Amino acid sequence: MAEIVIRNLRKEFGDFTAVQSSSFKIEDGEFFMLLGPSGCGKTTTLRMIAGLELPTDGEIYIDGEEVGRQPASKRDIAFVFQMFALYPHMNVRKNISYPLVSQGMPKHQVQEKVAEVAQILGITKILDRPVGGLSGGDRQRVALGRAIVRDPKAFMMDEPLGALDAEFREHMAEELRALHDRMGATTVYVTHDQLEAMQMGDKIVVMNHGVIEQFGTPQDIYDKPATMFVADFIGSPSMNFLRFHGQVLAGSTSVSIHHDEISVPRLQEPFEGDMVFGIRPEHIALTDTGTYRGEVLAAEYLGTTQIVTLKTANGELKARIPSGQPVRVGEYVGLDFNGATVTLFDNQSGRALKSELNEGVLAHV
Amino acid sequence: MSSYSITEPSSRQKWVAGSLVIFYAVITLLPLVWILTTGFKSPVDAIAYPPKVMFEPSLEGYVNLFTTRTRVSQEQLEALPPPATWYEEIVRNRDMVIAGPSRYGERFLNSVIIGFGSTFLSVFLGTLAAYAFSRFKVPLKDDLLFFILSTRMMPPIAVAIPIFLMFRTLGLSDTHLGMILLYTAVNISLAVWLLKGFIDEIPREYEEAALIDGYTRFQAFYKVVLPQAATGIASTAIFCLIFSWNEYAFAVLLTSGTAQTAPPFIPTIIGVGGQDWPAVAAGATLFLVPVMVFTILLRKHLLRGITFGAVRK
């Protein structure tokens, strides 16, 4: 097992920059998520770590050794592909034993290892079946088997659940996380699904347009987004943005939006201009006493909670409130914001303003 | 509920479709049947008019194909000891004796060496080139591919004279090597293009998985890509073989002795003592066999190969 350090990693395809000078560190044994929309450079980053792409610039350290220019076969890592990439002309047993055969492991030892891995993954019964007829889940297990059979330094997974049915995905996600906890192997996992990333990851890197937007634990990324992109990308519904023009000073604890003073975490930098007031739907309450008001446009019932869409002077927002609370479309209600959870952004650059809330987190970037 | 379905053809449609296929098959197979039967006719039956559908089969054509014969007088014939073999008997019935074996065997062997040799070389080089074009960043890739294809934009025989002069200068005229190189040069553009299509269809992930599993690029190509491309390689091989096996014009022009293939040889049989159609037909029949066997062996691949890539999986 190994820690992986990425330093100033960059990748250009002709004129297109897929990854711009990225740096982060993956601790030994961590389940690490690379999260972002398609085309953000997450898969390219993963492929560079694996040795399937050569970086244009920068370094990759696996276990302290710089491997950026080494071929994939020398890096001792395993890769699970989105489409599984099982060798179609071999049966399950051959697929799993293939990486061992390349190392020249004696036959009986290969058999033992394959049997052991099959046991762990519960695929002993299908070992002699051709891979063509397997279900999605079984293919996924075989792909995992091929990855873990070698005890590699680290696992790279490129949206391994992307090809599965929604129903089965959840189950496999649990299985995958359990497998990771059992083996304690460093895992780098690429996904565009923020729920998957939050659910499984120890740490998350959020990427967009080849740039790392934020790097941290799921809680930090959810509660203390470093940019508007992260705030918008993570969470469903995503963070509400109220746009306003104003001025804040270092030390301010409230902002003035549409003639209302709304409290925010103590700011640590001054700012003047177009700002965005960011708040998660669950931190908005509907009260009669609230002075900032909005008109109810719609309410979606979700069982334990409901999502209420409101129209305010600074734009639309969504609130997540208990489903028992009566709401009528068309009525005007007062809004109460939980000030401690608010993040202010610079509207132009999308960057979060430093405050009491996020001071430790922004330093990571 | 009736069993009527809009996707399943009705029995009448099936009957019509079946009849059309059979009709087409008959039209296609008739010349082959003609050649096959003529090979077993006597010279008189072969040119009988109206043509004889029923006839007494004879092996004379095949005997004539493989032998050279000399006409002898009745007295000489009677002086000879009785014929030792069935084929001597057939020859003697025509007042002739066997002078020796014909050249057909050698020519046939030449065809095998040149046909299969150039097929192997075309497919081998074509696979490597197609893999490179499919997987690597080759400078001027599109131009190169177009250039390769452009060699097929005129009939190869259009460059017969330059090739003839070139072969003469290089000492390649009437050599096996020369013919193999020539047919390879003609076939390779087809091979590269066909195989590139097949290899493009194989997901890169298979090789990448092999690279990560500790194999070198060449091992990944050899152990993972090649088995996947077997279908494409088989159908490409058939197309290449059919071309070089049947090629006539260059063979006439560039070979005369040592490396002459069967196609230019077969027509020369006519001239050996009258118009010996049964012998010509026998030569053509036997000449068909290797391509037929090769195609039947690879038939499963060929069928998949032709439709492969037509539908995105």
> CATH number of the domain that A303 lies in?
2.40.50.140
Facing residue for A52 by CB, picked from B206, B208, B214: B208
- Do A206 and A248 belong to one domain? no
In chain B, which residue's Cα lies nearest the Cα of A14?
Answer: B137
In chain A, which residue's Cα lies nearest the Cα of B225?
Answer: A87
Q: Do B208 and A77 touch (CB under 8 A)?
A: no
Residue B3 has what pLDDT? 55
Please enumerate in sequence order all residues whose Cβ is within 8 A of that of B46, keeping only pairs 6 or more positions apart, or say none: B38, B61, B277, B278, B281
- Do A206 and A57 belong to one domain? yes
Contact (Cβ atoms closer than 8 angstroms) between residue B88 and residue B98 = yes
Q: Do B208 and A99 touch (CB under 8 A)?
A: no
Residue A182 has what pLDDT? 86
Separation in Å, CA A357 to CA A93, A98, A346, B64 = 52, 50, 16, 102
Contact (Cβ atoms closer than 8 angstroms) between residue A186 and residue A30 = yes
Q: Do B209 and A103 touch (CB under 8 A)?
A: no
- Do A200 and A248 belong to one domain? no
| Residue A156 resides in a domain | yes
In chain B, which residues have their Cβ closer than 8 Å to the Cβ of A83?
Answer: 203, 205
Mean pLDDT (whole number) for A273-277: 93
Phi and psi for A286 in degrees, rounded to 5?
-95, 120
Decide if pLDDT at B12 tops 50. Answer: yes
What is the band of B272 on the pLDDT scale with cuts at 50, 70, 90?
low
Count of residues making up chain B: 313
- Min Cα distance B187 → chain A (Å) is 29
DSSP characters over A229-261: HHHHHSTTTT-EEEEEEEEE-TT--EEEETTEE
Mean pLDDT (whole number) for B55-66: 90
**CA–CA gap between residue A188 and residue A48 (Å, rounded):** 12
Mean pLDDT (whole number) for B8-35: 92
In chain A, which residues have their Cβ closer than 8 Å to the Cβ of B232?
Answer: none
- Do A64 and A162 belong to one domain? yes
Separation in Å, CA B174 to CA A81, B170, B245, B258, B309 = 54, 11, 16, 6, 40
**CA–CA gap between residue A135 and residue A126 (Å, rounded):** 11
| Terminal alpha carbon distance of chain A | 26
Largest CA distance in chain A: 78
Contact (Cβ atoms closer than 8 angstroms) between residue B103 and residue B259 = no
- Do A114 and A212 belong to one domain? yes
What is the band of B45 on the pLDDT scale with cuts at 50, 70, 90?
confident
- Do A15 and A158 belong to one domain? yes
pLDDT tens-digit series, residues A235-268: 989 999 999 998 999 888 999 888 888 999 999 9
What is the band of B305 on the pLDDT scale with cuts at 50, 70, 90?
low
- Min Cα distance A77 → chain B (Å) is 7
Q: Which of A12, A49, A56, A73 is the best substitution to test chain B (most B C-beta atoms within 10 A)?
A: A73
Q: What is the 3-state secondary structure (H, E, C) of B285-310?
A: HHHHHHHHHHHHHCHHHHHHHHHCCC
In chain B, which residues have their Cβ closer than 8 Å to the Cβ of A103?
Answer: 214
In chain A, which residues have their Cβ closer than 8 Å to the Cβ of B209?
Answer: 79, 81, 85-87, 146
On average, the pLDDT of chain A sits at: 90
B208 touches chain A (CB under 8 A): yes
In chain A, which residue's Cα lies nearest the Cα of B224?
Answer: A87
Q: Do B214 and A146 touch (CB under 8 A)?
A: no
What is the band of B76 on the pLDDT scale with cuts at 50, 70, 90?
confident
Between A and B, how many CB-CB pairs are < 8 A?
A: 55
- Do A219 and A274 belong to one domain? no
Residue B309 has what pLDDT? 45
In chain B, which residue's Cα lies nearest the Cα of A154?
Answer: B212
Decide if pLDDT at B312 tops 60. Answer: no
Residue B155 has what pLDDT? 85
**CA–CA gap between residue A262 and residue A258 (Å, rounded):** 10
- Examine the fold and report which residue of A197, A223, A249 is the final residue of a domain before the chain moves on: A223
A327 touches chain B (CB under 8 A): no
**CA–CA gap between residue A140 and residue A143 (Å, rounded):** 5
Contact (Cβ atoms closer than 8 angstroms) between residue A188 and residue A153 = no
Q: How many domains does chain A have?
A: 2
**CA–CA gap between residue B186 and residue B275 (Å, rounded):** 34
pLDDT tens-digit series, residues A155-164: 999 998 887 8
Separation in Å, CA A75 to CA A28, B36, B249 = 16, 63, 56
Q: Which of B135, B141, B212 is the best substitution to test chain A (most A C-beta atoms within 10 A)?
A: B212
Q: Do A85 and B213 touch (CB under 8 A)?
A: no
pLDDT exceeding 70 applies to what percent of chain B? 93
Q: Do B213 and A51 touch (CB under 8 A)?
A: no
Residue A202 has what pLDDT? 94
Quote the DSSP letter at residue A89.
T
For residue A71, whether the previous peptide bond is cis, meaning omega lies within 30 degrees of 0, is: no
The domain of A139 spans: 4-223
Mean pLDDT (whole number) for B140-164: 89
Q: Do A73 and B228 touch (CB under 8 A)?
A: no
In chain A, which residues have their Cβ closer than 8 Å to the Cβ of B224?
Answer: 87
Mean pLDDT (whole number) for B183-199: 93
- Do A243 and A298 belong to one domain? yes
| Residue A215 resides in a domain | yes
- Do A64 and A29 belong to one domain? yes
In chain A, which residue's Cα lies nearest the Cα of B205?
Answer: A85
pLDDT exceeding 90 applies to what percent of chain A? 61
Tokens 């539908």 label which residue?
B311
**CA–CA gap between residue B160 and residue B247 (Å, rounded):** 13
B211 touches chain A (CB under 8 A): yes
In chain A, which residue's Cα lies nearest the Cα of B204?
Answer: A85
In chain B, which residue's Cα lies nearest the Cα of A147?
Answer: B213
- Min Cα distance B230 → chain A (Å) is 11
In chain B, which residues have their Cβ closer than 8 Å to the Cβ of A87?
Answer: 206, 209-210, 224
Q: Do A72 and B206 touch (CB under 8 A)?
A: no
B227 touches chain A (CB under 8 A): yes
Q: Where are the beta strands (DSSP E) in A27-158?
A: 31-35, 57-62, 65-66, 77-80, 154-158
pLDDT tens-digit series, residues A124-167: 999 999 988 888 888 888 998 999 898 889 999 999 888 788 88
Q: Do A72 and B205 touch (CB under 8 A)?
A: no
- Angle (deg, nearest 10), helices B226-246 and B299-307: 100
Facing residue for B206 by CB, picked from A52, A87, A103: A87
Q: Do B212 and A72 touch (CB under 8 A)?
A: yes
- Residue A23, domain CATH: 3.40.50.300
- Do A215 and A334 belong to one domain? no
Please enumerate in sequence order all residues whose Cβ is within 8 A of that of A259, keeping only pairs 6 or more positions apart, or say none: none
Q: Say yes or no: ipTM exceeds 0.85.
A: no
- Min Cα distance A335 → chain B (Å) is 52
| Residue A259 resides in a domain | yes
Q: Which residues pair with A345 in a beta bridge?
A: A276, A352
Q: Do A81 and B228 touch (CB under 8 A)?
A: no
- Do A45 and A185 belong to one domain? yes
Quote the DSSP letter at residue A45.
H
What is the band of A1 on the pLDDT scale with cuts at 50, 70, 90?
low
DSSP characters over B243-282: HHHH--HHHHHH-SSTT--HHHHGGGGGGSSS--HHHHHH
- Domain-wise residue ranges, chain B: 43-102, 105-307
DSSP characters over A304-353: SEEEEEEEETTEEEEEEEETTS---TT-EEEEEE-GGG-EEEETTT-BBP
Q: What does the angle CA A336 – CA A337 – CA A338 come to, to the nearest 5 degrees?
A: 120
- Do A315 and A219 belong to one domain? no
In chain B, which residue's Cα lies nearest the Cα of A157?
Answer: B209
Superfamily name and number for B105-307: MetI-like (1.10.3720.10)
- Min Cα distance A142 → chain B (Å) is 13
